[in-house]
Structure 1
Amino acid sequence: MRISARNQIKGTVVDVKKGATTSHVRVDIGNGQIITSAITNEAVDELAIKVRDQVTVVVKASDVMIAVH
């Protein structure tokens, strides 16, 4: 995967909580730090995001996205 965003942080998914339309994905980036991303349930399903997955948190402006590789 290639992306232009420079703020990329690798981590491990520690929790996925689905709501009515939006999921909160918690990613452990090390040293006791957790980043939470709010993404659509559809994105979670399409990317098959689950606990213990290795992902990259991509921060662009005020958005926090998840990249699966």
Structure 2
Amino acid sequence: MGVTAINVRNQFRGHIKEIIRGSVLSEVDVQTPNGIVTSVITTRSIDELDLKVGTEVVALVKSTEVSIARL
């Protein structure tokens, strides 16, 4: 079964650049045409999705809050 529709508007297609595995949580860097998107997900999810460096993925970003800091 594939995804036919989704309500998440911020979608970034890319390839996994790096995975830093932890015992429970892991960090996944996704290289997109506009830069790197980093996600922290469970290590179990990495294994269940069979994620590896080079895997093509879509990073879906949904947030109820976006903070802005003045530089």
Global fold match (TM > 0.5): yes
- Report deviation, 1:4: 1.4
- For normalisation by structure 1, the TM-score amounts to 0.81
Q: Are residue 19 (structure 1) and residue 22 (structure 2) matched?
A: yes
- Report deviation, 1:3: 1.9
- Report deviation, 1:35: 0.9
Matched letter for residue 9 of structure 1 = F
- Report deviation, 1:54: 0.6
SS of aligned partner of 1:50: coil
Please list every run of at least 4 consecutive aligned residues from structure 1 whose deviation after the TM superposition is greater than 6 angstroms: none
Task: Please name the residue that 1:34 is paired with.
Answer: 36
Gaps of 5+ in 2: 65-71
- For normalisation by structure 2, the TM-score amounts to 0.79
> For the residues of structure 2 that align with 1:25 and 1:12, how far apart are their CA atoms?
10
- Report deviation, 1:28: 0.4
Gaps of 5+ in 1: 63-69
The structure that has the greater radius of gyration is: 2
